[in-house]
Structure 1
């Protein structure tokens, strides 16, 4: 049977040994799941990039990836799919997707843009002022199936976002991935982002740094929680010893 080396941080390796985790079985199960998930994702990417893919199939792909979307991305897509009066749009363009991201000033995509010195107000103004045409579906099958309503630049952006998820090794789809997809894609949203100084390599590095920061903070939070539990246990033990010693002690 072929052998694959798995490298772990020192603390995790020690914990795995202490817990006597069956590493081979766990890794095989995890890798099997990853192969299946990535395989489905790559098929979805190919379908999004194929102009001949039927809207019904795009709708099913959308249902499949919806469970992996963050709440903020779901909210951004909801905004992108509706016009100023709250009505469902027909074709949804790459500009609509970018507008949906910028509408929420707190998602990670916007925070990353701000960290790179991008003027969000100027960027949003350029999006609103743009009247660029994008080729869209000839017929919209359902107002609920967003992928089936996307223009080709919008579909290419979503395909690039999914590709970024695979390449970065993430198990979720967030606003930052869609932003990266818009920058790496093609169309008016790509042009506006590049004109305002947004570059895919720098954005990818920022996403990696943000992800590493989240992992570090979770690790520190866990350490603080362990220390708190240990302190509580120490105090309870001291109280029990005093009670057991009786009133004369």
Structure 2
């Protein structure tokens, strides 16, 4: 059976050993899920699919993320070729997703983002979507939301949308941290709502600290591989 090395920070590796966590089984399941998501993206022709079919093909994507994909496909008509610019425009057009809050936190007004031109030859929106899946997996999330779509666009080195976003200040590390802060705020809001219904809550601080710590570990691993 082929062997794939998995690199972990020292403290996490020690904790895994002490807890006796079945690393191979857990990694295998996580990789299987990621492969299924990426394969589904590559096999999906977004312009020819309705909401129900998108939900079947991409079950890990949130409803808002699927709406953004559908809006991107509509913008690509009649050419049928969906570009990263269409995906970015779909994020803005959807109007109520977490990615827009992240952009505002970075002092980028979504309404003022200029239209991205066509992608370079050989670049497709599939690359940004695959990077979105990678970002979601690296953050330990079992879903792909609009915030991950934004990360995928920013991470795509060649896509036209990523070039526009980075020119406006959406640097990758800053965007990851803004996503972490936005998610922590959302968790805090949900917890407060539950508290009003006599459900215990946790303060925002520890939730944000845990997310930032996870991102810092991710960035250290990326630096080590660079």
**What TM-score results when the alignment is normalised by the length of structure 1?**
0.59
Unaligned 5+ runs, structure 2: 1-15, 46-53, 201-226
After superposition, the Cα gap between the structure-2 partners of 1:210 and 1:191, relative to the gap in structure 1 and judged at 3 Å, is same
Is 2:92–2:100's contact at 8 Å kept on the other side of the alignment? yes
Q: Which residue of the other structure, out of 193, 198, 217, is the alignment partner of 1:226?
A: 198
Q: Which residue of the other structure, out of 38, 61, 82, is the alignment partner of 2:31?
A: 38
Q: Which residue of the other structure, out of 101, 111, 114, is the alignment partner of 1:111?
A: 101
Deviations 1:135-193 (A, max 9, x none): 36xxxxxxxxxxxxxxx341211111001011111111111101110001022111111
* Residue 69 (structure 1) aligns with: 61
Is 2:72–2:86's contact at 8 Å kept on the other side of the alignment? yes
Matched, 1:59 2:44: yes
Q: Distance in 2 between matches of 1:117 and 1:100?
A: 20
Q: Which residue of the other structure, out of 178, 193, 196, is the alignment partner of 2:168?
A: 196
Is 1:82–1:89's contact at 8 Å kept on the other side of the alignment? no
CA-CA distance at 1:96 after TM superposition = 0.8
* Residue 82 (structure 1) aligns with: 74
Matched, 1:120 2:113: no
Higher relative contact order (CA 8 A, sep 6+): 1
Matched, 1:165 2:136: yes
After superposition, the Cα gap between the structure-2 partners of 1:133 and 1:206, relative to the gap in structure 1 and judged at 3 Å, is closer
More divergent stretch after superposition (63-72 vs 204-213): 63-72
Q: RMSD of the alignment, in Å?
A: 3.5
Is 1:109–1:175's contact at 8 Å kept on the other side of the alignment? yes
* Residue 179 (structure 1) aligns with: 150
CA-CA distance at 1:134 after TM superposition = 3.7
CA-CA distance at 1:65 after TM superposition = 6.1
After superposition, the Cα gap between the structure-2 partners of 1:226 and 1:94, relative to the gap in structure 1 and judged at 3 Å, is same
CA-CA distance at 1:42 after TM superposition = 4.2
Is 1:108–1:176's contact at 8 Å kept on the other side of the alignment? yes
Q: Distance in 2 between matches of 1:131 and 1:219?
A: 41
**What TM-score results when the alignment is normalised by the length of structure 2?**
0.65
Matched, 1:135 2:106: no
Q: Distance in 2 between matches of 1:223 and 1:4?
A: 37
Count of aligned pairs: 177
Is 1:81–1:88's contact at 8 Å kept on the other side of the alignment? no
| Rg larger for | 1
Unaligned 5+ runs, structure 1: 7-23, 49-54, 137-151, 229-249
CA-CA distance at 1:120 after TM superposition = 2.0
